[in-house]
Structure 1
Amino acid sequence: MDVATGIIILSETLLGALGNCSLLYHYLFLYCTEGRVRATDFILMHLTVSNSLAILSKGLPQTLAALGLTHFISDLECCLLRYVQRLAKCMSIGTTCVLSVFQAIMVSPMDSCCKDLKVKAPQYVTVSVSFCWILYVSVNIIFPVYILYISGNWSMINITNKRDLGYCYSYDNENVSGPVYLILLVLPELLFSVLIVWANGSMILFLYRHKQRVQHIHRNHVSSRSSAESRATQRILVLVSTFVYFYILASLFRIFMALFDDENWWLINTENIISLCFPTVSPFLVMRRDSPVFRASFAMMKNKKSRYHTPK
């Protein structure tokens, strides 16, 4: 069972690292050639960064632990690793929320309540993503600082929870970290989850109304523009729905793990595998053949190559 778990997590790690690095390369290529990227591409670039952090901080140590190399890092290294894991998880839901709300605003009808935000929304993307990074970098730093404090004051602080993560031990004091975790992390996640559900529902409603409306439209230029807009919305819906599915599934396993006093390694290994599913598959959902990111990048590469081979 441990070897099988290690092979599965290793496969997710390698596949996810390859996909996210390829996607990040294309975003950087677009930025270097054009000098800017679209708002959705900017959000997806930061989502790719958070997915890469999740894969490196969780995939690699979990693979080594499943293959038999256990407790190979110190308490300080474990704190830093847990910090990166929390940061990647929080930024994943934060950027997904920004992506969902932005796309819902952009595809909303002109007579909706979001009509005034359609012009200003692209300007707020950078501020929103930067706010997520600042918020979660600041909030998550509390936990490693707290662990380092109690590790130097074992006689003063009563450690009520000690979790074996396989590659290290995670310590917790429920009287202190419980309320802090609830206020600083759980409540923002609930707010982002509500916004994601609202944005997805709005986009689904828009696509449904759009499908009914274009059935009576036969002009090619209108239908082609509308269909392109619908395809972009559908791609984002698939990406966000995949995130929501794996996020809910992993959360259910975390709840089951909290209900058991003893360490159930089947639940732990399953939760580790599920938590890496979205960072692994998300770049391949974006890197579809009809993705505008890759059409643009490959077109520019082709044009650049043709200029070098044009005879004088």
Structure 2
Amino acid sequence: MSSFRIVLNFQAGLGVLANTILLVFYTFIILCHRPKPTDLISCQLSFIHIVLLLTGVDVWLWDMCDALNTDNDFKCKTSFYISRVMRSLSICTTCLLSVFQAVTISPSTSFLARFKYKLKKYMIYVFLFIWSFNLSFTSYRIIYSSASTNVSETKQMQVTKFCSLFFMNYIIKALILTVIMSRDVFLVGLMLATSAYMVIILFRHQRQHKHLHSLSHLRASPEKRATQTILLLVVCFVVMYWVDFIISFTAVHLWMYDPVMLSVQKFVMNVYPTITPLIQISSDNRIINILKHMQSLCLHIFKKR
């Protein structure tokens, strides 16, 4: 398990570093330049993934809490709550990114074209709604989680090395699962629908321009590159989401704590927030140009020395 912990720490470290680079870049663009609407969403997604990766590694979080001399129960409730909120925000923000890109590239004659300016206008309100809903709804995690004790006596399910969940009333559990499943099915379905729509638009665009063979037309437009990037992110998210869902469902069904299963689940959970910034960095020409400029500047300074 120690070798797998090293893998988890490396994965989380890489993800935090890549997301931090992306967060700094988008913050600079938003404050100093004219940002694209998707830049605001990507900036928020980077921040969410940084927090998600930090709370996903128990060792890091509990070491920080130990330095503050906080109570074990407070550590457990805080880490579990923040982690679940960030997971919910990740799926909501990814869905928003997919929907916004589908609306952006939609033809002016399409039904979605009328929402282009409305989405830009109400973007802040959408952000506020997403954060308010997830922060308030996920608060049940604070009530039903606590520091691990004697599981056999207190009828708790140990979900991490440090935290356990109390048994819920059947009606409350059914209501919570219904809301979560309804939300996730709706958001994943919306992502798949908008992805299919974007694929159709790209396919039509390619057919309309296939007779043009000049190098200038063969190059992908910024909109096309952005669309392809978001499509790749959606595919990665959906695959990792269902793998994580199967593992979580198995653990809840067995009502048992398995360190191996928990480690595998953490690895799967961290794949998407780790891959996302790497894909975005490699596909955004603005970031690539800045990195190239920094590289040439460093080489110039090194040659002078």
User: TM (normalized to structure 2)?
Assistant: 0.82
The equivalent position to 1:166 in structure 2, one of 161, 172, 187, is: 161
The equivalent position to 2:258 in structure 1, one of 253, 264, 278, is: 264
Aligned to 1:275: 269
User: CA offsets, 1:220-278, max 9 Å, x none?
Assistant: 87x47973322221111112211111111111111222332443333222111111111
Aligned to 1:108: 106
User: CA offsets, 1:91-138, max 9 Å, x none?
Assistant: 000000100001111112222221211333322332222211111111
User: Which residue type is aligned with residue 10 of structure 1?
Assistant: N
Deviation of 1:208 (Å) = 1.3
Aligned to 1:144: 142
C-alpha distance in 2, partners of 1:203/1:188?
22
Aligned to 1:175: 170
Judged with a 3 Å threshold, the aligned counterparts in structure 2 of structure 1 residues 172 and 102 are, in CA distance, closer, same or farther, namely same
Aligned to 1:200: 195
Judged with a 3 Å threshold, the aligned counterparts in structure 2 of structure 1 residues 220 and 261 are, in CA distance, closer, same or farther, namely closer
CA contact (8 A) 1:104 1:202 kept: yes
C-alpha distance in 2, partners of 1:123/1:264?
47
Aligned to 2:78: 80
Aligned to 2:243: 249
C-alpha distance in 2, partners of 1:180/1:86?
17
CA contact (8 A) 1:6 1:63 kept: no
CA contact (8 A) 1:6 1:64 kept: no
* CA RMSD, Structure 1 to Structure 2 (Å): 3.2
1:23-102 equivalences under 5 Å are: 23-34=22-33, 36-61=34-59, 74-102=72-100
User: CA offsets, 1:185-208, max 9 Å, x none?
Assistant: 332222111111111111111111
CA contact (8 A) 1:61 1:167 kept: no
What is the aligned residue count?
286
C-alpha distance in 2, partners of 1:181/1:47?
25
Aligned to 1:210: 205
Judged with a 3 Å threshold, the aligned counterparts in structure 2 of structure 1 residues 254 and 205 are, in CA distance, closer, same or farther, namely same
C-alpha distance in 1, partners of 2:9/2:231?
28
C-alpha distance in 1, partners of 2:74/2:288?
45
Aligned to 1:69: none
C-alpha distance in 1, partners of 2:29/2:248?
39
CA contact (8 A) 2:81 2:142 kept: yes
User: Which residue type is aligned with residue 94 of structure 2?
Assistant: T
User: Which residue type is aligned with residue 20 of structure 2?
Assistant: C
User: Which residue type is aligned with residue 207 of structure 1?
Assistant: L
CA contact (8 A) 2:55 2:61 kept: no
Judged with a 3 Å threshold, the aligned counterparts in structure 2 of structure 1 residues 75 and 270 are, in CA distance, closer, same or farther, namely same
Unaligned ranges ≥5, structure 2: 64-69, 296-305
C-alpha distance in 2, partners of 1:63/1:131?
28
CA contact (8 A) 1:62 1:166 kept: no
CA contact (8 A) 2:106 2:201 kept: yes
C-alpha distance in 1, partners of 2:196/2:13?
34
SS in 1 for 2:165: strand
C-alpha distance in 2, partners of 1:185/1:293?
37
Aligned to 1:307: none
Deviation of 1:285 (Å) = 0.8
1:223-242 equivalences under 5 Å are: 223=217, 227-242=221-236
Judged with a 3 Å threshold, the aligned counterparts in structure 2 of structure 1 residues 300 and 142 are, in CA distance, closer, same or farther, namely farther
User: TM (normalized to structure 1)?
Assistant: 0.80
Unaligned ranges ≥5, structure 1: 66-71, 152-157, 303-312
Judged with a 3 Å threshold, the aligned counterparts in structure 2 of structure 1 residues 21 and 228 are, in CA distance, closer, same or farther, namely closer
Deviation of 1:142 (Å) = 2.9
SS in 2 for 1:216: coil
User: Which residue type is aligned with residue 80 of structure 1?
Assistant: T
CA contact (8 A) 1:83 1:141 kept: yes
